[in-house]
Amino acid sequence: MKVFSIQFLSAFVLWAGVVIAGDLNQLPVISKKEWGGAPVASDADTASYHQTPGYITVHHGGVFFAPDKDPVAYLKHLQTFSTDEKGWMDIPYHFLIDPAGKIYAARPLRFAGDTNTEYDPHGHALICMIGNYEVQKVHPAQLTALIDLILALMHDYHIGPEKVATHRDYSRMTVCPGKDLYRYFQDGWIYDMLKSRSHWKKAHPDSVN
């Protein structure tokens, strides 16, 4: 009986641990390896970049993105531009979401992002919505993926909704993430969604295994 209890207990702890640790792992995130991105160079100067995310900050790419454009080609070009032109270790964002709602991993979360503006991205998990939402409309699938990703990050890193914002909330130098995306933050829609879907796993029992 005692042996049974211990086995039962460890199985439960293991199961609970897996569930608690991995909201991000349960999302269909396309890894850098899968989309063909280069890893951070082994000789990159990463010492000052180590971070634990405590904020979630949303950006847009700032470049018009036609629906028939190849997101992987965009990601590869962005990575080359970031390392070769800007001298950054990687794409400045941790995740990017294309108009179809596919989520791509970019810079590892353990490294702070980079920016052309005056805010300090240390401690921020950076999400970039591919496109220019100053001039184009956010696609519903992209918004759904954004909510999924924000909720997973909030859960895994114990981040409250008050720490979820956009680039322009931290910088006077930019309109990023563009007016059509910013309005969802401005009118509170995003926060209502985060609140109403905070038990999203119950609505998606198949995602728990």
Residues that bind Zn ion (CB under 5 A): 59, 167, 176
For tokens 């700032």, the residue is 62
> Would you say 156 or 169 has its CB closer to Zn ion?
169
The Cα-based distances of 34 to 79, 80, 147 in angstroms read 15, 17, 23
The distance of closest approach from Cβ of residue 171 to Zn ion in the complex, given in angstroms and rounded to an integer, is: 8
The distance of closest approach from Cβ of residue 59 to Zn ion in the complex, given in angstroms and rounded to an integer, is: 3
The distance of closest approach from Cβ of residue 94 to Zn ion in the complex, given in angstroms and rounded to an integer, is: 13
For the chain, strand residue ranges (E) read: 29-30, 55-60, 95-97, 103-105, 124-129, 164-166
Partners of 30 in the beta sheet? 104
Report the SS3 class of residue 90.
coil
The distance of closest approach from Cβ of residue 187 to Zn ion in the complex, given in angstroms and rounded to an integer, is: 20
> Would you say 97 or 176 has its CB closer to Zn ion?
176
The distance of closest approach from Cβ of residue 186 to Zn ion in the complex, given in angstroms and rounded to an integer, is: 16
Q: What share of the chain is helix, strand, coil (3-state, %, to 5)?
A: 45, 10, 45
Residue 137 backbone phi and psi in degrees, to 5: -95, 140
48 — alpha (psi -120 to 50), left (phi > 0) or beta?
A: alpha
> Would you say 23 or 128 has its CB closer to Zn ion?
128
> Would you say 154 or 176 has its CB closer to Zn ion?
176
> Would you say 83 or 171 has its CB closer to Zn ion?
171
